[in-house]
Amino acid sequence: MTNDDMQFEEPEIIYIPDEEGNEEEFEVIMKFEVDESDQKYMMVVPLNVEEVEDEDADEVYAFRYEEDGDDLKLYTIDDEEEWNMVEETFNTLLGEMDHED
């Protein structure tokens, strides 16, 4: 796949309910697996930025996920060690993407 092909890919959109049960729209910006644990992770950003408070506008959210057929199960990352590993992997992958451009 070339960089030109990547520009025309449809973004993957998921809906995550908030505390009040309202579904919020998020774009998946990256998915990756961590070799040591075989866990899958995704990084998402909110799509309705105008509705999000200013300090959250550039916020990236990370979730561990499992796919069960067509169902997607998201899990919050509460463990500090796991969070640090996900953040480090995300930053490394982002750095690699920047070097490709």
pLDDT digits (tens, 9 = 90+) for 15-54: 998 889 999 999 999 999 877 778 999 999 999 755 545 5
Q: What local confidence, expressed as pLDDT, does residue 34 receive?
A: 79
Average pLDDT over residues 51-74: 79
Residue 92 identity: T
SS3 14: strand
In 51-86, which positions are buried (b, 16+ CB within 10 angstroms) versus exposed (e)? eeeeeeeeeebbbbbeeeeeeeeeeebeeeebeebb
pTM assigned to the model: 0.74
CA–CA gap between residue 70 and residue 94 (Å, rounded): 28
* Percent of the residues in the chain that have a pLDDT greater than 90, as a whole number: 47
- Domain carrying residue 49: 3-100
Q: What local confidence, expressed as pLDDT, does residue 37 receive?
A: 72
**More confident of the two residues 5 and 60:** 60
Number of domains in the chain: 1
Residue 56 above 80 pLDDT? Answer: no
Q: What local confidence, expressed as pLDDT, does residue 58 receive?
A: 72
